Amino acid sequence: MDIDEISAEDELIRLLLKRQTELNALLEVTQAINKDTRTPVLIQMLQVILKSYLQVGKLRFLIEREGNFVLLSKYGGDIEPVGSLHVACQKLSKVKWPEPLANHEDSLLCTYDYFIPIYHKKKALAYALIGDFNTSSELLNNDLNFIQTVINVIVVALENKKLFKERLESERFHREMELAAEVQNMLIPLKTYKDSSVEVSARYIPHQNIGGDYFDFIRLNKHEFLWCIADVSGKGISAALLMANFQASLRAWSAVEDDLTNVVDRLNKIVINNTKGERFITLFLAKYNEKTRKLNYINAGHNATILLSQGEAITLKLGTTMIGVFDELPFINQGEIDIEPGTLIVNYTDGLLDHEYSADKTWGEESLIDFVDTHGTSDPDTLNELLMDHIKKVIKGKPIDDVTLLTMRIF
C-alpha cells in the first residue's frame, strides 16, 4: 500500500469519526429535548458542540421573540449591542443558507466568518454569526450544514416550548373565565320580581363571557327594600371574587345599618383592604321605605339613575366618588326623594351608552332620558326589551362593555 492510499484511508477514518461525533452530539441534544431540559442547558450544549467539536471561537445567536430579536447565546470577542447585531443581520434578510462574511461591506458583519439563518417557511426564527472558525476547506460545507442543523433543532425545540407554554396559559385563562362566569352566575339574582309595592326587571349582557357588572335587589323587611347596581373594574376570576365579596359585604351591612352613608363608607374600606387600591367600583345604592314613601340613595361615581315621575324625568347624581380609590372617601352626600305612586326608576351601566361605530352619533344620556320619557308608561320588562331593541336596530353599534339594566316601578 503506497503513501497516497494510506493518507486517503486515514482521511476517510477521520471523516467517519467526525460524522460519528456529530451524530452523537445531535443524539444528546435530541435526548435532552425529549426530557424537556431547560433552555439554559440546551444553550450550554450548543456552545459546547460549537467550541469543542467544531472549533468555533466566536458566536452570536439571536432568536425571534414577539417581533423582536433577543441575544440568546454569545461568547468570544467584544459583545456588540443587540440592536446593532439585529440591524446588521437584517441586511441579510433574504439569505436562506450559510453565507460567508469575511469580505462583507458592513463593518460589523465582516468581523465574522459566516452568517447562518434559521427559517420556518418565510419567517426568520433565528440568526447565528460565527467567527474564528477553524476548519478545512474539504469539511467546510459539512460543518456549516451541521451547525445549521443543530441550531435548527434547538430553535424548533424552543418554539415548541413557547407554543406549549402559550397553550397552557390559554387553557388556564379559559378555565379562569369559566370559574369567573360560574361565580358571577351565582351572584346575579332573579331577573324579575314583583309584589304589591314594586315591580322589578333586569337585563344583563356581558361583553365577554365574564363581565364586571353587578346588580342586586334585596327585600330588607316588610316595609323596606334596597337595590344596587355596580361596575367592578377589570375582568376574570379576581374581579368575580371581588364582586362576590362586595355582595356579601353589602348584604351584611345593609341588614344592620340603617344609614346608607355608613354602608358605603364600610364598603369602601372593605374594597381598599382587599385590593390595595388596584381596583375600584362605581355603584348606585338606594333604599326605599314604603311607609314614608321616601327614597334614600348614594351615587358613587356611577352613571346617573333616571327617575320618571308624573311626566318629569330627573337624574340621581348626588353621592360620592367611586369606592376603592381613597382610604377615606373625601365626601358622601346622601340624596332623599319623596316617591309618588307609579314612579319609574331606570338604573344602568355605561355599556348602555358606549358603543362601537354607530350611524346615530347623538346617543347619550340625554337621548336615553328622552327614550325613557317616551316609553315611561310601559312595564319594566317591556321597557327593557324596547330599549335593547332600540340599541340593536337604531344605534346598531355593538356595546364596548357590559350592559346592565335594572328597571323598576314603585306603586
State the Cα torsion 225-228-229-233 to the nearest 10°.
Answer: -160
**Secondary structure E strands in 257-320:** 281-289, 294-300, 305-309, 312-316, 319-320
Distance of alpha carbon 246 from alpha carbon 270, whole angstroms = 8
Assign 167 to helix, strand or coil.
helix
pLDDT tens track for 195-225: 999 999 998 877 665 557 889 999 999 999 9
Q: How far apart are CA 182 and CA 337, in angstroms?
A: 37
Cβ count within 10 A of residue 183: 16
Domains and CATH numbers, the chain: 3-163 (3.30.450.40), 177-410 (3.60.40.10)
CA 39 to chain centre: 26
* C-alpha angle 321-325-326 in degrees, rounded to nearest 5: 85
CA 104, CA 287: separation in Å to the nearest integer?
80
- Residue 15 has what pLDDT? 64
pLDDT value of residue 1? 47
Q: What is the pLDDT of residue 351?
A: 84
Cell 324596547 belongs to: 386
- List strands edge to edge, sheet with 123-133: 68-75, 56-65, 123-133, 114-120, 99-100
| Dist CA 3 CA 16 (whole Å) | 20
**Is the sign of the CA dihedral 118, 123, 125, 127 positive or negative?**
positive
Conformational region of residue 406, where left means phi above 0, alpha means psi within -120 to 50, and beta covers everything else: beta
Residue 230: per-residue pLDDT = 92
SS3 303: coil
> Which of the residues in the chain have pLDDT under 50?
1-3, 6, 359
What is this structure's pTM?
Answer: 0.60
The burial class, CB within 10 Å (0-12 / 13-18 / 19+), for 262 is: middle
Give the integer Cα–Cα distance in Å for 17 and 7: 15
pLDDT reported for residue 187: 62
